[in-house]
Amino acid sequence: MKSLQGIRILDLSRILAGPWASQLMADMGAEVIKVERPGRGDDTRSWGPPWLDAGPEPVSAYFLSCNRGKQSVCIDFSGPRGQALVRELAAHSDILLENYRPGSLARYGLDYDSLHAVNPNLVYCSITGFGQDGPYRHRNGYDLLLQAMGGLMGITGMPPEAGGAPVKVGVAVTDILTGLYAATACLGALRERDQGATGRHIDLSLMDVQVASLANQAMNYLVGGQVPVPMGHAHPNIVPYQAFATADAYLVIAVGNDEQFRRLCQVLDRPALAATPEYSSNAARVRHREPLVSQLADAFQARKRDEWLNALEAAGVPAGPVNDMAQVFADPQVQARGLVTELHHPQFGAVPTVASPIRDGSASEEHAVTPPPALGEHTDAVLGRLLGLNADALTSLRDEGVIGGTHKGR
């Protein structure tokens, strides 16, 4: 996929939200220059085990998840020479991503106003925990905090009457959603810029994204006035839409309309349920959730999971297994769609990665073809190509500790 070919992104972000945004744009053909601290790099390089390699420069699986298709350039911008290098790179870039606390980069002359003066067309995207203003603007933001403060943990887990404690989602979903919003906002700003506008300062906060992503649960509260509570695997607005235990394992049922419910009742050999006024419409089923779910649960105990799934599939009732990670990657649909692929790493050979889910229908759907970079792997190549620095200049900067990385760029 080459839809963003010719777009250059200067990525000063770390951890997940910003890197997720830049990886998505790398998958779409953008050139991504990842600026990292010499000798240390992105924090997630050390977030293991598991490791791809446990040698002197281990590579964590976490880092591999969100940094493919990028070039790593090590610059210490705490001093004036490093700051000048970043400013020069910004002058040659279309988008800058950063996730420092509000006001932090102004000390280095790398804030939006400073870089807008250098490159008026630069789209500058700031990702923070709580935004550029408001009483919490200076707080650090981590996904777990925002899942809690932004309401997600308040609706996730088993119901209070079942003894449920607060539960977070199993991946850093607030970070990931913020990354998707960031990429979308950046591309929208590029579109506006291409129509004659200048660059923009995009202010994205994890808190804002988490609250916005509450979707129907937020509107249930704002319209209905009732505070939503955790419901385990059930749905607040649809019944039956949850997991059921069979004779040997769990499955999920996702009945989205009354016709599907009728077919479900036929498969379960309980056709009278669909004709019962208390269950004949979704609104009625929501009101009479408990007695209906109890009857369905009893019915599912009669057969094994795969028997039910085969029968439900034949009847056109949406249903599926509750897969663990091994079962996910063994699933024939996942394999047919090529969601696991390998990238060639010059140090470690074949490196597995989860492919971009974007399919654009082109004859050759090429996603990012390079693996996550070694720390400072492209320092010399990028600074030489974009800033015209020769070997002597690079050696001088390295000797002074301004830049790092000894690998030659591919």
Which residues make Cβ contacts (< 8 Å) with residue 207, sequence separation at least 6? 129, 130, 131, 136, 141, 146, 149, 150
In whole angstroms, give the CA distance from residue 167 to residue 218.
18
Label the pairing between strands 51-53 and 349-354.
Answer: unpaired
Closest listed residue to residue 226, CA positions, set 168, 144, 154:
154
**Token couple for 117:** 């003066």
Catalytic residue, from 94, 175, 208, 380: name it. 175
Distance of alpha carbon 193 from alpha carbon 200, whole angstroms: 8
CB atoms inside a 10 Å sphere around CB 233: 12
**Cα dist from 394 to 12, 81, 383, whole Å:** 21, 12, 8
Cβ pair 250, 305 in contact under 8 A: yes
For residues 277 and 268, what is the distance between their CA atoms, to the nearest angstrom?
18
Alpha carbon distances (Å) from 315 to 261, 308, 312, 318 = 11, 11, 5, 9
Buried b (16+ CB within 10 A) or exposed e, 249-279: eebebebeeeebbbbbbebbebeebbebeeb
CA distance 195 to 119: 17
Task: Please provide the DSSP assignment of 113-133 as one string.
Answer: HHHHHH-TT-EEEEEESS-SS
What DSSP character marks residue 101? P
| Residue 327 burial (CB count, 10 A) | 11
**Nearest residue to 383 (alpha-carbon basis) of 125, 110, 37, 92:** 92
SS3 352: strand
Q: Is 203 a catalytic residue?
A: no
Q: Which residues are catalytic?
A: 175
